[in-house]
């Protein structure tokens, strides 16, 4: 990981608790601060308190639409320059287009590749990716 992108404040929004906890351990091991939320409503509260610089968001949440949540987070003036990375296990071209249109900076198919996420973090919010 590039020194210039160390210590990102990452919010993982993932309804599968085991996956969220695993990502938390992995990203913390890479030197990042990390919090996770397992629902859209908890994610909004956490984002206001934690002020992430990066959000990894599962697009299929039990209490909300990940694309709508991504749009809300990107439009939040309290989160300037936020990088939003969509992740889903049920990828389709239509969902990819919808995620990118909602403001996601990247779209990843689960299981996500940590090296790919690392590259996205180094590239910053200006890089649009359609991996998967």
CATH number for the domain including 53? 3.40.50.2300
Q: What pTM was estimated for this model as a whole?
A: 0.88
Instruction: Judge whether 96 and 107 are in contact, CB under 8 Å.
Output: yes
User: What pLDDT does residue 125 have?
Assistant: 57
User: What pLDDT does residue 6 have?
Assistant: 59
91 pLDDT tier (thresholds 50, 70, 90): confident
Question: How many folded domains does the chain comprise?
Answer: 1
User: What pLDDT does residue 103 have?
Assistant: 95
Q: Which domain holds residue 20?
A: 3-130
């Amino acid at each position: 990981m590039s020194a210039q992108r160390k210590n990102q404040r990452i919010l993982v929004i993932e309804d599968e608790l085991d996956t969220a906890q695993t990502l938390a351990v992995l990203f913390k091991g890479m030197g990042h601060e990390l919090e996770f939320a397992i629902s859209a409503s908890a994610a909004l509260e956490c984002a206001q308190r934690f002020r992430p610089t990066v959000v990894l968001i599962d697009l299929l949440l039990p209490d909300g639409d990940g694309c709508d949540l991504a749009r809300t987070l990107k439009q939040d003036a309290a989160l300037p320059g936020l990088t939003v990375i969509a992740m889903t296990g049920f990828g389709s071209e239509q969902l990819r287009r919808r995620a990118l249109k909602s403001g996601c900076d990247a779209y990843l198919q689960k299981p996500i590749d940590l090296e790919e996420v690392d590259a996205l973090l180094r590239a910053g919010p200006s890089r649009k990716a359609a991996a998967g």
